[in-house]
């Protein structure tokens, strides 16, 4: 099973990486902020798909997403999601905090989460 939502999340994350690299070369804070928010969007898409496939519900907002992750026993993922939301969405995008290494680290963390979630769902579908 290869979900088109996971494919979309990866594609958006690739755009985020390209935009981050371009923003650093051009010293463009607008591109930097957009790159961070694209990475966060990729995470949301992947988490929503994961939750939907696990329990048949698509979260409507951040609060519901965190609650559902806790309910399905993924407190680890809930905590990581909250941390990435703070770095990518709140600090980088909204506040304009310029920490390229934190954003790059967060982007790689999102990439690993997407792979982990898709792998977990693929393993389950084979059983």
Comparing 9-13, 16-20, 26-30, 122-126, the range with the smallest average pLDDT is 122-126
Domain membership of residue 102 (yes or no) is: yes
pLDDT in tens, 67-119: 999 999 999 999 999 999 999 999 999 999 999 999 999 999 999 999 999 99
Strand, coil or helix: 97? coil
Query: Domain residues for 33?
Result: 4-121
Domain membership of residue 79 (yes or no) is: yes
| Count of domains forming the chain | 1
pLDDT tier at 125, thresholds 50, 70, 90: low
Domain membership of residue 126 (yes or no) is: no
Domain membership of residue 98 (yes or no) is: yes
Domain membership of residue 44 (yes or no) is: yes
pLDDT at 47 over 80: yes
pTM score of the predicted model: 0.93
Domain membership of residue 35 (yes or no) is: yes
**What is the C-alpha radius of gyration for the chain, rounded to an integer number of angstroms?**
15
Cβ-based neighbour number of residue 119 at 10 Å: 10
pLDDT tier at 3, thresholds 50, 70, 90: confident
Q: What's the CA gap between 60 and 76, in Å, rounded? A: 20
Exposed, middle or buried, 87 (CB in 10 Å: 0-12/13-18/19+)?
A: buried
The CATH number that applies at residue 21 is 1.20.120.330
Cβ-based neighbour number of residue 71 at 10 Å: 14
Exposed, middle or buried, 25 (CB in 10 Å: 0-12/13-18/19+)?
A: exposed
Domain membership of residue 49 (yes or no) is: yes
Mean pLDDT of 7-21: 98
pLDDT at 54 over 90: yes
Domain membership of residue 127 (yes or no) is: no
Whether 43 and 56 have beta carbons less than 8 Å apart is answered as no
Closest CA to 35 of 107, 101, 90: 107
């Amino acid at each position: 099973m290869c979900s088109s939502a996971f494919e979309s999340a990866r594609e958006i994350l690739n755009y985020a990486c390209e935009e981050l690299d371009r923003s650093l070369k051009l010293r463009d804070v607008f591109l930097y902020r957009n790159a961070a928010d694209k990475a966060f969007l990729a995470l949301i898409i992947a988490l929503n798909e994961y939750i939907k496939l696990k329990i048949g519900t698509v979260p409507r907002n951040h609060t519901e997403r965190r609650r559902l992750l806790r309910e399905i026993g993924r407190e680890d993922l809930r905590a990581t999601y909250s941390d990435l939301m703070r770095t990518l969405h709140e600090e980088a995008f909204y506040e304009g905090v310029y920490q390229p290494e934190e954003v790059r680290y967060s982007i790689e963390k999102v990439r690993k989460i997407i792979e982990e979630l898709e792998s977990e769902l693929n393993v389950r579908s084979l059983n």
